[in-house]
């Protein structure tokens, strides 16, 4: 049995359809990432699975239980890290973890959890005195303390410094190794690539692509082209190819469905002007390339996904 089964899940708010007939399954022990732009319906989907919101129609099962009336039986077996949480900020870190711990039947130890999220040195500090990233680690601790079979994480590493992000990746990989099923949302494609066995891309409430990162890459006809230009003049004169140039500093990145013609165009332009396309690379699309081609309404190229 899949740990999570979602079929035709729909959620409307008045005239807005926030989640539109979404279907997916997450296998036992799998890590599944929901990706999508702001307002796509990720939190709504995940909060229905957590039992925090009610679906308008469709079905959801978590560990075989309908989360809308899962009650204690389900709450005991899942861990939740909401996108924004409201911990009592007068408590210190230990007290907060201990308070949440008390509501579970088979919890982890307080020290173990504090150690897992790297808050040992801050355990006696009040929550309100911690930095944003440190507070987010408490959220993570509270999601873990119940020793859940299924862990839901809504943008768990937003606000984390790079070392903390890597630390949480290790933590989540470790949990995966213990057989925990994990559903997360993230805006960081490197995070999805690192952690997720499979990803689902959701746009305007609809799943537009789903699969392993490798399957998504194989299922698109988008090719990435990247190079560096010597100066702003060259950047200004660059011909438009593919979905247009995405420029950061002197680095130019282009996604295209017609790489042969576009490369010809670009290299002819460069030779004519005597410009070197430094570090020129033509590559299979990264998850970020695929994500952008699926979600950016302004791009001319669209990934093909059947």
Ligand X SMILES: Nc1ncnc2c1ncn2[C@@H]1O[C@H](COP(=O)(O)OP(=O)(O)OP(=O)(O)O)[C@@H](O)[C@H]1O
Pick one of ligand X, Mg ion, none as the site partner of residue 41 (Cβ within 5 to 8 A by kind): ligand X
State yes or no: residue 45 binds Mg ion (CB under 5 A): no
Q: Which is nearer to ligand X, 41 or 224 (CB)?
A: 41
Residue in 83, 85, 257, 267 binding ligand X, rule: CB under 6 A: 83
**In which residue are the tokens 């995966």 written?**
176
Shortest Cβ distance from residue 43 to Mg ion (Å)?
Answer: 3
Can you say whether residue 266 is alpha, beta or left, with left for phi > 0 and alpha for psi between -120 and 50 degrees?
alpha
Instruction: Give the closest residue to 125 by CA, choosing from 82, 81, 87, 170.
Output: 87
Q: Identify what 1 binds: ligand X, Mg ion, none; CB under 5 to 8 Å per kind.
A: none
Based on the shown chain and the rule CB under 6 A, indicate whether residue 39 belongs to the binding site for ligand X.
yes
Residue 136 touches ligand X, criterion: CB under 6 A = no
Q: Does 85 bind ligand X (CB under 6 A)?
A: no
Q: Which of 24, 26, 35, 42 binds ligand X (CB under 6 A)?
A: 42
Task: Look at the alpha carbons of 96, 98, 99, 100 in this order and tell me if their dihedral is positive or negative.
Answer: positive
Q: Which stretch binds ligand X (CB under 6 A): 34-42, 133-141, 262-270, 275-283?
A: 34-42
Q: Residues 6 or more apart from 264 whose CB is under 8 A from it?
A: none
State in angstroms the smallest separation of the CB of 22 from ligand X: 11
Which of 18, 113, 142, 182: binder of ligand X (CB under 6 A)?
18
Q: How far is CA 108 from CA 102, 105, 114, 141, 264, in A?
A: 10, 10, 10, 10, 60
The residue from 43, 134, 157, 293 that contacts Mg ion (CB under 5 A) is 43
Specify the residue, 60 or 238, whose C-beta has the smaller distance to Mg ion.
60
38 in contact with ligand X (CB under 6 A): yes
Distances (CA, A) of 234 to 151, 237, 252, 274: 49, 5, 11, 10
Q: State yes or no: residue 40 binds ligand X (CB under 6 A).
A: yes
Instruction: Confirm or reject binding of residue 41 to ligand X (CB under 6 A).
Output: yes
How many chain residues are in contact with ligand X, going by CB under 6 A? 12
Give whichever of 18 and 141 is closer to ligand X, judged by the CB atom: 18
Q: Where are the beta strands (DSSP E) in 198-298?
A: 198-203, 206-211, 223-228, 246-248, 251-256, 278-283
Strands (E), 4-145: 4-13, 16-26, 31-35, 57-62, 78-81
Who contacts 114 (Cβ-Cβ below 8 Å, separation ≥6)? Answer: 93, 94, 97, 120, 123, 141
User: Which residues does residue 35 pair with via DSSP β-bridges, in sequence order?
Assistant: 201
Using the rule CB under 6 A, which residue among 7, 13, 72, 190 binds ligand X?
A: 13
Q: Which of residues 55-84 bind Mg ion (CB under 5 A)?
A: 83
Q: How many residues bind Mg ion (CB under 5 A)?
A: 3
CA 153 vs CA 31, 33, 74, 150: distances in Å: 11, 9, 16, 10
Per CB under 6 A, 203 contacts ligand X? no
Which residues here bind ligand X, judged by CB under 6 A?
A: 13, 16, 18, 36, 38-44, 83
Which residues here bind Mg ion, judged by CB under 5 A?
A: 42-43, 83
């Amino acid at each position: 049995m899949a740990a999570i089964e979602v079929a035709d899940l729909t959620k409307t708010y008045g005239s807005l359809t926030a989640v539109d007939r979404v279907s997916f399954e997450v296998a036992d022990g799998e890590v599944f990432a929901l990706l999508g732009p702001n307002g796509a319906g990720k939190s709504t989907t995940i909060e229905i699975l957590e039992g925090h919101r009610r679906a308008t129609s469709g079905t959801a099962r978590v560990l075989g239980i309908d989360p809308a009336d899962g009650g204690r039986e389900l709450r005991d077996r899942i861990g939740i890290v909401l996108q924004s949480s409201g911990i009592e900020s007068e408590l210190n870190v230990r007290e907060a973890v201990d308070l949440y711990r008390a509501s579970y039947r088979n919890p982890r130890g307080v020290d173990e959890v504090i150690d897992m999220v790297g808050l040992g040195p801050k355990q006696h500090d009040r929550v309100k005195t911690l930095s944003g990233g440190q507070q987010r680690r408490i959220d993570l601790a509270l999601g873990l303390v119940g020793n859940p079979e299924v862990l839901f994480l809504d943008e768990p590493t937003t606000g984390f410094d790079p070392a903390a992000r890597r630390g949480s990746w290790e933590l989540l990989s470790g949990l995966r190794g213990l057989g925990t099923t994990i559903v997360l949302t993230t805006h960081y494609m490197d995070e999805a690539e690192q952690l997720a066995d499979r990803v689902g891309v959701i746009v305007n409430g609809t799943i537009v692509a789903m699969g392993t990162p490798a399957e998504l890459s194989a299922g698109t006809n988008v090719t990435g082209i990247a190079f560096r230009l010597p100066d702003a003049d060259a950047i200004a004169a660059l011909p438009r190819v593919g979905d247009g140039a995405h420029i950061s500093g002197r680095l130019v990145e282009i996604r295209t469905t017609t790489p042969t013609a576009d490369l010809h165009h670009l290299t002819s332009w460069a030779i004519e002007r005597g410009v070197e396309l430094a570090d020129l690379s033509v590559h299979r699309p990264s998850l970020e390339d695929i994500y952008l081609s699926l979600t950016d309404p302004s791009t001319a190229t669209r990934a093909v996904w059947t």
